[in-house]
Structure 1
Amino acid sequence: MSFITVPRAILFDLDGTLADTAPDLAAAVNLLRTERGLEPTPYEILRPTASAGARGMIGASFGLAPHDEGYEALRQGFFDNYGAAMSVHSSLFDGVPELLDGIVAAGLVWGVVTNKPARFTDPLLPLIGLDKTACAISGDTTPHPKPHAAPLLEAAKRLGLAPEQCWYAGDDLRDIQAGKAAGMPTIACQWGYCGAIEPAAWGADYLMATPRDLLELIRTTLEGGALAA
């Protein structure tokens, strides 16, 4: 049996964990299709891939992978479209404002570690009410994005904390892989996009159905000390 340490910081993935950004991501890729005379890709197909950003959106909509011919032009077009309209329909998930307020009220700090490029992360956070983050690490902040440990280790460094003092919560398998690689307790957020692999199979320390459940877990841990996982 392993034990989850009492946290001093809670780190979060952004897309699909704190914020429902899929509508604007889907709009950006579907604009590429309409510009080419193609029918939009149904939203229900695009939404589960939103945590994978451009790679996920272009893969679901055009069937292309990063090394395929034509992918890079679509990627740049997607970035242009998204940058021009990144907060039209994006919003925080229900319960997230209360979760973040509860974290601060408990004497902890919270931060964002995302694979979204900084050119989008930095302007988006204040637009959707996440401007009080203690740190914001983007996909290009370090040489390696998640699932590499580097972004999470950079977040811990900026907060002046040991990795094990930080919990990492995310809605994608790569989030859990990155958290484990960094030596952080991990939370799989079932309210997010989650992709094709069920969160129960990710090997996270905990599965949380809602942001309110996560807040309760944090409070319970702070009150009772380390929890068995």
Structure 2
Amino acid sequence: MKENIIDSILLDLDGTLVDTASEMHLALNVLLNEEEMELQPYEAVRPHVSNGVMGIFNTIFEDSPEVNGRRFNRYLDIYEEHLGINAQVFPGMNEV
């Protein structure tokens, strides 16, 4: 009989295990640059990361849902391109 070498599989769906705030910030600034808008400092974006992309968008953009829908889709493309560049496992998660 084969021995299982995998003890567990952990999925991080909401940023509990891996801190992706810096990548969310990067993706936002790439989008803002494309839109020729003022870039945002990390400190202004970080408090809204736990509310997801729309939480960030609601603090930055005041446009119509249609415009924000287009932005949202573009943001997701940018985020996917940059995923894993700056992500850091939260302290203690390696031991888990």
TM-score between both structures, scaled by the size of structure 2: 0.77
Distance 1:42 1:96, change over 3 A: same
Letter in 1 for 2:52: G
**What is residue 61 of structure 1 aligned with on the other side?**
60
SS at match of 2:91: coil
Within-5 A mapping of 1:1-229 = 14-15=14-15, 17-63=16-62, 68-98=65-95, 100=96
Structure 1 vs Structure 2 CA RMSD: 2.2
Contact kept in structure 2, 1:26 and 1:57, CA below 8 Å = no
Structure with greater proportional helix content: 2
Higher CA-based Rg:
1
- C-alpha distance in 2 between matches for 1:89 and 1:53: 17
Structure with greater proportional strand content: 1
Looking at both structures, which has the greater relative contact order when contacts are Cα pairs under 8 Å and sequence separation is at least 6?
Answer: 2
After TM superposition, give the deviation of residue 69 of structure 1 in Å. Answer: 3.5
Gaps of 5+ in 2: 1-9
SS at match of 1:23: helix
TM-score between both structures, scaled by the size of structure 1: 0.35
- C-alpha distance in 2 between matches for 1:89 and 1:21: 7
The percent identity for this pair of structures is 30
After TM superposition, give the deviation of residue 41 of structure 1 in Å. Answer: 1.3
- C-alpha distance in 2 between matches for 1:97 and 1:83: 24
- C-alpha distance in 2 between matches for 1:11 and 1:25: 18
Contact kept in structure 1, 2:20 and 2:86, CA below 8 Å = yes
Letter in 2 for 1:87: G
After TM superposition, give the deviation of residue 11 of structure 1 in Å. Answer: 8.3
Deviations 1:7-66 (A, max 9, x none): xxx986531x211100001111111111121121121121111122221222222245xx
